[in-house]
Amino acid sequence: MPTYVMLTNLTSEGVKTVKSHPGRVAEVNREVEALGATVVAQYTTLGQFDFVSIIEAPSDEVMAKVSIEMGSRGTMKSQTLAALSAERLAEVLAG
């Protein structure tokens, strides 16, 4: 299944939401699953991004739907990258 890396920054509203309701992150992950994708791993990070999420989705279209739905709420902004494992890259290059 295709893998994506979602780099997320919370808006000020998103920070307020997470601070007052820390369980909201898990709720959002369940909402992502309801849209047809799976959050494989998620990290809170220091630096340029607030969260790094590894997500599997059956297609670019499903991942686009996830990105648009999550972004439409006004609590976060994200960048989504398609990812290929190093093992898969080696397979592709070996032909």
H-state helical runs in the chain? 12-20, 24-34, 60-71, 86-94
Looking at the structure of the chain, the number of domains it has is 1
CATH assignment at residue 82 = 3.30.70.920
What is the overall mean pLDDT for the chain? 96
Q: pLDDT grade, residue 29 (50/70/90)?
A: very high
pLDDT at 95: 84
pLDDT at 88: 93
Query: Domain limits at 34?
Result: 3-94
Q: How far apart (Å, rounded) are the C-alpha atoms in residues 18 and 83?
A: 27
Tens digits of residue pLDDT in 34-76:
999 999 999 999 999 999 999 999 999 999 999 999 999 999 9
Given CA atoms 9, 53, 69, 1 in this order, what sign does their dihedral have? positive
Beta carbons of 73 and 24 less than 8 angstroms apart: no
Q: pLDDT grade, residue 18 (50/70/90)?
A: very high
